[in-house]
Chains A and B, each alone.
With several copies, the nearest count.
Chain A
């Protein structure tokens, strides 16, 4: 890789992969929790929560980015507290992860929520009456039975994380060797008219996407063999 790519490009690719993966992993538990609540419980203001979840899709990324900046920035809402804790997010890799998480959250929630809706509650009931506690029901019934939708959602989320630009560039900046993801680098190359350097990076993200899709397919069909 480093043979063909400048060491900076190589770093960017590797960095992007890690933050996108990390963002997806960190996002999964809360996203599944929200999806589960939306699917299984009825409560007032459900549509409102659903809307909030969908917001990062609806708002132009720059707006999401600005809001995140106003939250996390040194003059922001949480900024001062974070600073006191010695955590600074803005313009660090942490900001990239946060931006990616926020932007791809809706995709996983939707996918998982619909998958949970389609799980036959009688199976969960039967599991309970065979002595399974809620945790066991979740891990032996709900999640495995919803795996298709979850994997699908994870794919979308990961893909989105790879492609995220608008929000990231605001909260994380576009700092080579520090916060510059493939999307940011590509954008920058396009800006300065160096398409020749943009295409290779684009090819890489396409390849990564292909691998992700392919892995997802196999995971699902592996489970599929039984079902």
Chain B
């Protein structure tokens, strides 16, 4: 078990990107394209935005942070951990109300959530997880939050909320459109119009502690480029222009 065995393929000139788990597939595709045009290798670290933020606060090495919500980014900005000039809100997403594809509750609009046969509504943790925070914001704006709070089931994250609906133990869930598309067992009952919805945005920024800031900026630029945005669109994200 020579330690040499553990030498990672990526050498010194790599771009370390901490990104929200929900971006995994889009970003992997993007990095492939980026490499194809001769970009430096990318080392991703996928996880829950909040934990990624914690890692950065504790000085874990990263060049670029791609969060699933502004709050986390603000937190880092307040601690002077990101290079403000590079901060960009690249993507947006929309919330959807989903029910089980078979024998799902008859819900066609948020108001239908008040129906008595809707017992449980799965949301990602509404204090810490972006998707949950957005969903709460939306329900509050709709004046439904307080009337529904008894039925809310906070789950670890969006995926768990979907799993709850798939398993039939939640009658409905509010998740990102991108995640809803992935699951075959759920159907979109109602798509929150961007106008009504909360301002969902995925900010990205180069970190002040970045070892490879130049590379990070370059990759960020690539993600903004035509090629980059095309990929995100294909994965169901909205790209505000």
Contact of A175 among B25, B43, B51, B53 (CB under 8 A): B43
Cβ contact within 8 Å between B10 and A74: no
- Looking at the complex, which of A65-73, A110-118, A137-145 is the stretch in contact with chain B? A65-73
> Of A73, A174, A191, which contacts B169 at CB under 8 A?
A73
Report if A18-B1 is in contact (Cβ < 8 Å); known contacts: A74-B168, A76-B58, A174-B125. yes
A176 within 8 A of B: yes
In the complex, whether A45 has a CB less than 8 A from a CB of chain B is no
B125 touches A191 (CB 8 A): yes
Interface pair A21/B1, CB less than 8 Å apart: yes
Cα-based distance from A90 to B50 in the complex (angstroms): 18
Q: How far is the CA of A173 from the CA of B58 in the complex (A)?
A: 13
Contact (Cβ within 8 A) A74 B169:
yes
**Which residues of chain B in 56-83 are interfacial with respect to chain A, using CB atoms and an 8 Å cutoff?**
57-62, 75
* Chain A nearest CB, measured from B211 CB (Å): 11
Which residues of B are found within 8 Å of A22, using beta-carbon distances?
A: 1
Beyond A169-B156, A169-B160, A192-B127, is A74–B51 a contact (Cβ under 8 Å)? no
Contact B125 A75 (CB under 8 A): no
Report whether B167 and A76 are in contact in the complex, using a CB–CB cutoff of 8 Å. yes
How many Å from the CB of A165 to the closest CB on chain B? 9
Contact present for A192 and B182 (CB under 8 Å): yes
A192 touches B21 (CB 8 A): yes
Chain B residue, CB-CB nearest to A15? B6
* Chain B 107-132 near chain A by CB (<8 Å), digits 1 or 0: 00000000000001010010111000
Bound-complex Cα distance A190 to B162 (A): 11
Q: Which residues of B contact A70 (CB under 8 A)?
A: 58, 167
Using A91-B60, A192-B22 as known contacts, say yes or no to A170 and B1 having CB atoms under 8 A apart: no
State which size class the interface on A falls in: 20 to 34
Contacts A190-B54, A191-B128, A193-B75; is A74 near B45 (CB within 8 Å)? Answer: no
A193-208 vs B, Cβ < 8 Å mask (1 yes, 0 no): 1100000000000000
Which residues on the B side are within 8 Å of A177 (C-beta)? 8-10, 43
Instruction: Give A169 to B21 CA distance when docked, in angstroms.
Output: 12
Among A85-110, those with CB < 8 Å from B are: 88, 90-93
Residue in A closest to B127 when the chains form the complex, CB atoms:
A192
Query: In angstroms, how far is the closest chain A Cβ from the Cβ of B235?
Result: 10
Complex Cα distance, B163 from A76, in Å, reads: 11
Min C-beta distance of B23 to chain A, whole Å: 9
Additional pairs, 12, CB under 8 Å, beyond known A192-B182, A193-B57: A18-B5, A21-B1, A74-B61, A75-B59, A75-B100, A90-B164, A169-B155, A174-B156, A175-B45, A175-B154, A177-B8, A191-B159
**Chain A interface residues (CB < 8 Å from chain B):** 18-19, 21-22, 25, 62, 66, 69-70, 72-76, 79, 88, 90-93, 169-170, 173-178, 188, 190-194
The 6 A-B residue pairs whose C-beta atoms are closest, nearest first, are A73-B167, A74-B59, A74-B168, A193-B182, A75-B168, A191-B128
On B, residues with C-beta under 8 Å from A are 1, 5-6, 8-10, 16, 18, 21-22, 24-25, 43-48, 50-51, 53-55, 57-62, 75, 100, 120, 122, 125, 127-129, 153-157, 159-160, 162-164, 166-170, 179, 182-183, 209
A-B contact pairs, 28 of them (CB 8 A): A18-B5, A66-B58, A69-B167, A69-B169, A70-B58, A73-B166, A74-B58, A75-B59, A75-B168, A76-B58, A91-B16, A91-B60, A91-B153, A91-B164, A91-B169, A93-B6, A93-B8, A169-B156, A173-B60, A173-B122, A175-B45, A175-B153, A178-B8, A190-B51, A191-B21, A191-B128, A192-B22, A193-B50
